[in-house]
Amino acid sequence: MRPATREKLHSLPVDDTIVAVRGVDKSYGSTEALRGIELDFPRGRLTSLLGPSGCGKTTLLKIVAGLLDADKGTVMVDGKAVSGPGPERAFVFQDFALLPWATVLRNVAFGLELRGVPRGERDETARRYVAEVGLSGFEQKYPHELSGGMRQRVGLARALCVDADVLLLDEPFSAVDEQNRRKFQEDLIRLRNTQNKTFIFVTHSIEEAVYISDRIVLLSPRPGRVSQIIEPAIDRSGDPERIRRDRHYLDTVEEIWQGLKQYVD
């Protein structure tokens, strides 16, 4: 088994970068959340932003999403500077952000509804993605009738439905119970293989990051900066259950933990 290839700060440019973060600073009042962030996100891969709370990972994701403005620096998506949300990016929210008064189908189709896609067409697309995330038969249910895990599947289907190139996931499993989270992580690996999309994934779980990511960006707190980039060389083609027993997986988790330990208060 090949050891993890580790890159230093300011990683070398990747051939095919879809999202590029250049010199991003962000402060909330006197609190410095992010300082001098330089990052490249390779196309078609799943990159995790990992770090302890207060490292600015969600802030960085929201800046990439165009939901927050950076104080300094730019975010480029496909070579174009970001000035707000765009059709090439879709967001999955930590608290699901589903419309409680709308059915699963309408929630999934909501992005298309806002874009003015006709009812029949958007429902058809939404049905496909409802099936894709394993919720067939629940189209006419309301969010309060679903479990936490199922609600987040709706959130994911909604993001997939608008056919964005980049999916931004903000701690999507933190409000989901452990069993559902594992199942969901396995599904995410499968989706990554079939959907041909770029995933940027914020998490505070080391295991989760190592399990699903092609690339892990470690952020250190106060102020948030990139401390390390790790590419776990784990073969994810086979049985997803096997990965959790993979020696390399366990070693990488341990290594990251040793690196992060100093920031835990």
Partner 1 sequence: MNSVRSSEGEALLIGGASQGQAAGLLASPALLRLLSIVLFAAIWEVAGRVPVSFAFPTFSDTAVAFFGLVADGSLPKAYVSTLQPLVLGVVLSALLGVGIGTLCGLSRAGEWLLVPVFIVLQAAPVAAFIPLVTFVYGIGLTAKTLAVMILALPVIVLNTYKAVRNVNGSLLLMCRSFLGTRRQEITRIVLPDASPVIFAGLRLGVAAGFVGVVLAELLITPTGIGDLITFHRSRADYAEMYATIASIIALSTLTLVALQWLETRVFRPEKRGR
What residue ranges bind partner 1 (CB under 8 A)?
Answer: 65-67, 85-87, 89-91, 93, 95, 97, 99-102, 110-111, 113-115, 140, 142-144, 158, 162
Measured from the CB of residue 114, what is the shortest distance to partner 1 in angstroms?
Answer: 5
Measured from the CB of residue 139, what is the shortest distance to partner 1 in angstroms?
Answer: 12
**Alpha helices, DSSP H, located in the chain:** 57-65, 104-108, 110-114, 119-132, 148-161, 178-195, 206-212, 240-243, 247-260
∠ Cα 174 175 176 (to 5°) = 95
> Which residue in this structure is represented by tokens 């250049």?
22
Nearer to partner 1, 55 or 168 (CB): 168
Measured from the CB of residue 1, what is the shortest distance to partner 1 in angstroms?
Answer: 40
Nearer to partner 1, 112 or 210 (CB): 112
Measured from the CB of residue 120, what is the shortest distance to partner 1 in angstroms?
Answer: 19
Nearer to partner 1, 41 or 110 (CB): 110
Nearer to partner 1, 7 or 95 (CB): 95
Report the C-alpha gap between 220 and 256 in whole angstroms. Answer: 12
Q: Are the beta carbons of 126 and 160 closer than 8 angstroms?
A: no
Q: Is the peptide bond before 223 cis (omega within 30 degrees of 0)?
A: yes
